[in-house]
């Protein structure tokens, strides 16, 4: 009998009792255990509606991931309790019920209107607080708050904080999509008078955005939209909605900005007459419910040490580069005394290195109320490891904590191996993803940028989708990408688009429109997401194909190319060894092929046309850029990696020669990295696929500069933007762009999971696994585990005494094709635990050892 299903989910939500923005949310669950040979023949769904009615619906089939909603659609505000059970030869027990609720699904569901302070809360004025009151005439049965803002909000109901979201409602393409949040506030509402207040900050809507100095790019007025719906025990609904009766007052937040920080007067008390509000005309069709988890506080880190800089400044080291803010406890403070907290990622000459921040001030300051108090901001964030504190005497490490924030993504993937530096590097990748996955996938979290660069997330998406359950997060961002895409199919460099650079068509960056939805589909099995984004995917490929013309070669025009090739000088990151035309044409071939495959999966009759386009581009690439002996134009590691991994070389001999040439280039470069953003995610696959495993491992494990492990030897705790953001002498790279928290060069983590450990999907959503570990010199064991949509899959291998021990766990509902090192034929296995012992292929042993399985 199968075990009781667990982890019942709705769409891609990982929070319990999610509020969804659709009427028919899909269901997924995990069967944690089952007897050998188990097959799911069907499932049953039990739905309990708000009126107490219950219905059980049986469905035949083996699906358990993103199955269709089986009953009548949800109505706005409706909550339903759902349980499932599965059938093999017999039925499993029922799962624990999970609750799903529909949000406000239509503009007509909103009676609230967007309101803005009339005279308070100007662009350079203190942050305003908006206030509304509701009298509840009886005992409360249920209360829900639907809320969003132009700007960011922090809400309180009867003096108690609503929810645990940070920087809500987050950042979307505001002209097209404004996300709202829904909270169950039943415990906060009381009979009689109730007061709802919301502090508004500038956030992304009105604060500084981008390196061009832009401010108030979306509008110059902060505003709130809130609808509190209270149902009393007599069944009547009472509503408090933002309207002209609301008022505003000034808060103690004197200034706030995501780049510059927050200034707070802790002495502030409510005073002065209330300010009226204006009702703004706004398009409520923009309102959307969340697709994934919000930004939250995800942890705290105590200060590692407090010390004195050469200048005499008091510095704090938190031991980890992170994203968030400093929580500071002040004892016996003097009223009106000022405390200042400045932030930086590294030190230079023993002082805060603030030059990499460019114009971002990254400073929080406070005017003390006096006595003992705890200081922390709520309307800003910083990327930092170090802080400089002024205005506090006798500061102790126990007085300080770093508050870590980010989109609260569920961790799904883990990796470790016998090489400690490689383990630290992988940890750094995780920290950089956590810090930069802050409502949108940003490039960096500290300087005057923090934008959703398409190229960065395009190369990193495979690693991200292994490490975290980020389908909802990336799905929301992709909806913004499609909304921001130009009519001609070109894709902005950043999403949401605040650079507004015309109609850009940069290879590898714009290809995010195709490759990110493809990766999400491959890792989650979400065919619906692929269907939603196929028009956007096609539009991008059509745009580039027009630019390529009948020759099918993408030449000229603006390109980032192999951005930040380590050979490029600090002042010219474009100066890569790889020819940008080769890069652009290779990406056109790849994206056209992906669109063809996506369309075929969806049954769209455009599939043959894109398959033909991909074939034409591959042929043009080979004619224009590849010699008969496999040399690729510009003869750089990145162009060989592209040609090999994207299957752009027509003959086996060309592929062999290109692999040999790539290995020769790596050797000639002393096994140091020679790739930028484009080549870095591909080069390990290219080398290993060419049979150059030893060369690949020497490249991977190099510790000299530039290399993946060089930053680790320099004390890095996140991935750097440049291979040498910190120079060997400990000084900061003189380039204008020198971030110490960028995930793009950490994209090789995907190969650690798939290649070294050997855990990869062979079918969308890991319905089938591809187990192909690649042991190599310098690593004696490796392990990876991933929480697939079907449950946890795990692979580990260990070299010991001339043998290689391989262990595998396959979740129920999946199968695996296992390529045991040293064996020619793969083996098919089903769910359960499997083990093998074979001669270690690295010792050239020929003594056969039979596998054992449990």
DSSP 29-89: EE-----TT----EEEEEEE-TTS-EEEEEEESS--SSBPP-SSPPPTT-EEEEEEEEESS
In order of 698, 777, 810, the CA distances from 781 in angstroms are 16, 10, 20
Main-chain phi, psi angles of 402, to 5 degrees? -95, 125
Q: How many residues does the chain have?
A: 854
Active site residue 376: no
102 neighbors 69 (Cβ within 8 angstroms): no
Would you say 536 and 543 are in contact if contact means Cβ atoms under 8 Å apart? no
Q: What predicted TM-score, i.e. pTM, was given to this entire model?
A: 0.97
Instruction: Classify 554 as helix, strand or coil.
Output: coil
Catalytic residue among 721, 803, 807, 853: 721
Backbone angles phi, psi at 321, to 5 degrees: -75, 130
Residue 269's pLDDT is what? 85
Cα separation, 465 vs 37, in Å, equals: 30
- Cα separation, 256 vs 265, whole angstroms: 12
484 noted as active-site residue:
no
Per-residue pLDDT at 846: 38
Burial profile 719-748: b = 16 or more Cβ within 10 angstroms, e = fewer: bbbbbbbbeeeeebbebebbbbbbbbbbbb
DSSP element (H, E) containing 136: strand 128-136
Spatial distance between the Cα atoms of 147 and 156, rounded to a whole number of angstroms: 12
Peptide bond into 455 cis (omega under 30): no
693-700 helix and 652-668 helix, angle to the nearest 10 degrees = 30
DSSP β-ladder status, 178-184 and 287-289: parallel
In three-state secondary structure terms, 296 is strand
Going by DSSP bridges, is the β-strand pair 413-417/400-407 parallel, antiparallel, or unpaired?
unpaired
Residue 844: DSSP 8-state: T
Mind listing the pLDDT tens digit for each residue in 476-528?
999 999 999 999 999 999 999 999 888 889 999 999 999 999 999 999 999 99
Q: Which residue has the tokens 């990869």?
A: 760
Task: Determine the Cα–Cα distance for residues 479 and 8; give it in Å rounded to an integer.
Answer: 25
**Cβ atoms within 10 Å, residue 611:** 17
* Buried residues in 648-666 as b, exposed as e (16+ CB within 10 A): bbeeeebbebbbbbbbebb
Q: Rounded to whole angstroms, what are the CA distances from 148 to 118, 207, 785?
A: 19, 17, 38
Other beta carbons within 10 angstroms of residue 503's beta carbon come to 12
How many other CB atoms sit within 10 Å of the CB of residue 281? 7
Residues lower than pLDDT 50 in the chain: 845-854
d(CA 669, CA 751): 21
Neighbours of 135 (CB within 10 A): 10
pLDDT single digits (tens) 34-85: 999 999 999 999 999 988 999 999 999 999 999 999 999 999 999 999 999 9
Task: Report the candidate in 681, 685, 679, 680 with the shortest Cα–Cα distance to residue 659.
Answer: 685
Give the distance, in angstroms, between the CA of residue 705 and the centroid of all CA atoms in the same chain: 28
Catalytic residue selected from 388, 449, 484, 616: 449
């Amino acid at each position: 009998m199968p075990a009781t299903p667990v982890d019942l989910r709705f769409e891609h939500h990982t929070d319990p009792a999610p509020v969804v923005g659709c009427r028919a949310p899909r269901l997924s669950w995990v069967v944690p255990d089952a007897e050998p040979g188990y097959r799911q023949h069907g499932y049953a769904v039990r739905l309990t509606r708000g009126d107490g009615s219950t219905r059980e619906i049986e469905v035949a089939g083996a699906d358990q991931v993103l199955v269709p909603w089986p009953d009548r659609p949800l109505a706005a505000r409706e909550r339903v309790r759902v349980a499932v059970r599965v059938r093999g030869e017999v039925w499993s027990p029922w799962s624990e019920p999970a609750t799903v609720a529909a949000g406000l699904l239509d503009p007509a569901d909103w009676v609230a209107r967007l309101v803005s302070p009339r005279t308070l809360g100007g662009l350079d004025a203190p942050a305003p607080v908006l206030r509304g009151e509701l009298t509840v005439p009886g005992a409360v049965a249920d209360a829900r708050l639907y809320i969003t803002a132009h700007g960011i909000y922090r809400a309180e109901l009867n003096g108690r904080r609503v929810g645990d979201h940070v920087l809500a409602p987050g950042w979307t393409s505001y002209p097209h999509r404004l996300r709202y949040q829904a909270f169950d506030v039943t415990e906060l509402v009381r009979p009689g008078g109730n007061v709802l207040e919301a502090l508004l900050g500038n956030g992304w809507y009105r604060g500084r955005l981008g390196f061009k100095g832009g401010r108030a790019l979306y509008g110059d007025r902060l505003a709130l939209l809130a609808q509190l719906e209270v149902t009393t025990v007599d069944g009547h609904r009472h509503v408090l909605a933002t309207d002209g009766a609301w008022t505003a007052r000034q808060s103690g937040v004197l200034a706030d900005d995501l780049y510059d920080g927050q200034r707070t007067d802790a002495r502030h008390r409510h005073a002065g007459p209330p300010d009226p509000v204006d009702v703004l005309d706004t398009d409520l069709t923009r309102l959307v419910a969340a697709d994934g988890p919000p930004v939250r506080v995800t942890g705290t880190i105590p200060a590692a040490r407090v010390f004195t800089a050469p200048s005499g400044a008091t510095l704090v080291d938190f031991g980890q580069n992170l994203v968030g803010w400093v929580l500071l406890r002040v004892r016996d403070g003097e009223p009106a005394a000022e405390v200042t907290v400045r932030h930086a990622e590294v030190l230079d000459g023993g002082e805060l290195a603030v030059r990499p921040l460019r114009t971002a001030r990254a400073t929080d300051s406070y005017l003390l109320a006096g006595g003992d108090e705890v200081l922390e901001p709520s309307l800003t964030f910083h990327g930092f490891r170090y802080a400089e504190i002024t205005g506090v005497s006798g500061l102790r490490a126990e007085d300080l904590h770093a508050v870590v924030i980010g989109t609260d993504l569920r961790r799904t993937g883990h990796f470790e191996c016998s090489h400690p530096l490689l383990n630290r590097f992988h940890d750094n990748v995780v920290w950089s993803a956590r810090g930069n996955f802050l409502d949108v996938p940003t490039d960096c979290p500290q300087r005057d940028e923090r934008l959703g660069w398409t190229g960065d997330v395009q190369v990193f998406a495979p690693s991200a989708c292994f490490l975290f359950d980020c389908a909802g997060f990336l799905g929301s961002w992709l909806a913004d990408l499609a909304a921001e895409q130009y009519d001609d199919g070109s894709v902005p460099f950043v999403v949401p688009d605040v650079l507004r650079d015309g109609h850009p068509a940069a290879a590898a960056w714009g290809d995010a429109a195709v490759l990110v939805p493809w990766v999400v589909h491959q890792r989650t099995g979400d065919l619906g997401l692929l269907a939603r984004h196929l028009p956007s995917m096609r539009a991008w490929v059509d745009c580039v194909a027009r630019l390529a013309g009948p020759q099918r070669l993408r030449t000229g025009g603006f390109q980032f190319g192999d951005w930040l090739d380590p050979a490029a000088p600090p002042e010219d990151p474009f100066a890569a060894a790889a020819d940008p035309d080769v890069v652009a044409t290779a990406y056109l071939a790849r994206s056209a092929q992906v669109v063809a495959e996506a369309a075929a999966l969806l049954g769209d009759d455009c599939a043959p046309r894109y398959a033909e386009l991909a074939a034409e581009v591959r042929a043009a690439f080979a004619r224009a850029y590849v010699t008969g002996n496999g040399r690729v134009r510009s003869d750089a590691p990145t162009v060989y990696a592209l040609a090999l991994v994207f299957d752009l070389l027509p003959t086996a001999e060309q592929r062999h020669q290109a692999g040999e040439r790539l290995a020769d280039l790596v050797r000639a470069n002393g096994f140091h990295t020679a790739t930028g953003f484009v080549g870095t995610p591909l080069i390990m696959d290219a080398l290993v696929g060419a049979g150059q495993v030893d060369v690949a491992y020497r490249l991977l494990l190099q510790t000299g500069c530039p290399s993946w492990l060089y930053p680790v030897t320099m004390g890095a705790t996140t991935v750097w933007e440049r291979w040498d953001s910190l120079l060997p002498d400990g000084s900061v790279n003189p380039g204008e762009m020198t971030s110490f928290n960028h995930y793009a060069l950490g994209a090789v983590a995907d190969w650690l999971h798939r290649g070294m450990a050997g855990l990869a999907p062979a079918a969308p959503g890991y319905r089938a696994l591809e187990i192909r570990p690649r042991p190599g010199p310098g690593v004696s064991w490796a392990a990876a585990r991933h929480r697939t949509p079907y449950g946890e899959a795990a692979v580990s291998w260990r070299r010991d005494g001339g043998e290689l021990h391989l262990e595998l766990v396959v979740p129920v509902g999946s199968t695996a094709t296992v390529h045991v090192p040293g064996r020619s034929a793969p083996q098919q296995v089903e769910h359960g635990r499997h083990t093998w012992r074979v001669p270690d292929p690295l010792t050239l042993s020929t003594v056969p050892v039979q596998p054992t399985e449990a």
